[in-house]
Amino acid sequence: MTPGFSNESLKDSLEVEKIWDKAPHNAFPDMIRFKGDFYIALREGNNHMPDKSGAIRILKSKDGEDWQSVALLEEEDRDVREARLSITPEGRIMVLTAVGVYDDGYKILYPMVSFSDTKGEGFSSLEKASIDMEPSLDWIWSLTWHNNIGYGIVYRNYNAAREVHLLKTTDGINFNHVAQLPIDGGPNESTIRFDENGKMYVLVRREDGDKMGVLAKSEAPYTDWTTKKLTKRLGGPNFLFLDKNTLVMGTRDYRKTGAKTVIYLTDLEGNINKTMEVPSGGDTSYPGMVIYKKKLWFVYYSSHEEKTSIYLTKIPIKDLYK
């Protein structure tokens, strides 16, 4: 635990609730607010690793307490994984996911998308996204909209070397290449955010070498990059700007005693100032985050109560600063 910050200081304010456990394995959630409601996307499957049963469940709630299923997105004989949610400039929820066939490694892997209607009540069938690059094993892990343009990082296994590239889109279906990020060490899952001046921040997981995460930055047009290696390995990395000088990150913390899902408060260089562990263990992480009514709403999955399930915790922002 980072000095100066402990779970004890949040004992009375931390609210944790299991909100979904209907499938054998419930994991990889993301969350947004849309037109007065909360939405969560999660993967339902038989296990963590790919199989032919993986599908994306979309949940909706007015109050964050009572959750109802509004959609199930699936593809025959394909594993549908790790949906990420965003809101398009046209005012629809966009669901970005990866679809693949796995047999001792991915044989097929490509991005697919679904869009809600303008009320968030119905979702379209999945359709394949297009990337203006030579096809590989392509995964656009998340998407963030800025000034009516959606930006995402595709990670791809090309010539047996994993690369990450910045893509952009105006319709959520057709993606154009912007730049390759200068990151080695098997970079993959990446989340993009923008500061108030339009500077892009990217939090990147790495799975080779020392495996430490990376925080990359770039000014428009996002072709020249600076990178900072973090002191922590990441898994399912997500983050938001808590204020103009502070990032709040959610990720897996790899420990000798077993994985935990944690929240880091960092400066803009990714230096960790405070750490908080949420109730978790085993197969866990991949948080979705929303700041609403002076609370951090933090959804994640965990198997600390045996069955891999979806949990939601709500943390007063003032307590994060304690």
Comparing C-alpha atoms, which of 174, 81, 165, 89 is closest to residue 129? 174
Concatenated DSSP letters of 3-45: TT--GGGGTTT-EEEEEE--SSEEEEEEEEEETTEEEEEEEEE
Q: Is the pLDDT of residue 50 over 70?
A: no
The predicted structure's pLDDT at residue 11: 46
**Confidence (pTM):** 0.95
Determine the length of the chain.
322
| Rounded average pLDDT over 213-222 | 99
Q: Write down the mean pLDDT value for the chain.
A: 94
Concatenated DSSP letters of 85-134: EEE-TTS-EEEEEEEEEESSSEEEEEEEEEEB-TTSS-BPPPEE-EESS-
Distance CA 130, CA 90 (A): 20
Give whole-number Cα distances, 308 to 22, 64, 249, in Å: 10, 20, 22
Distance CA 161, CA 156 (A): 8
% pLDDT > 90, the chain: 87
- Four-CA torsion 23, 24, 25, 26, nearest 10 degrees: 20
Residue 55 β-bridge partners: 44
- Binned at pLDDT 50, 70 and 90, residue 5 comes out as very low
Q: Is the pLDDT of residue 6 over 80?
A: no
Query: Do strands 55-61 and 309-316 pair parallel, antiparallel, or not at all (unpaired)?
Result: unpaired
The predicted structure's pLDDT at residue 51: 72
10-321 to CATH, choices 2.120.10.10, 3.40.50.2300, 3.30.470.20, 1.10.3470.10: 2.120.10.10
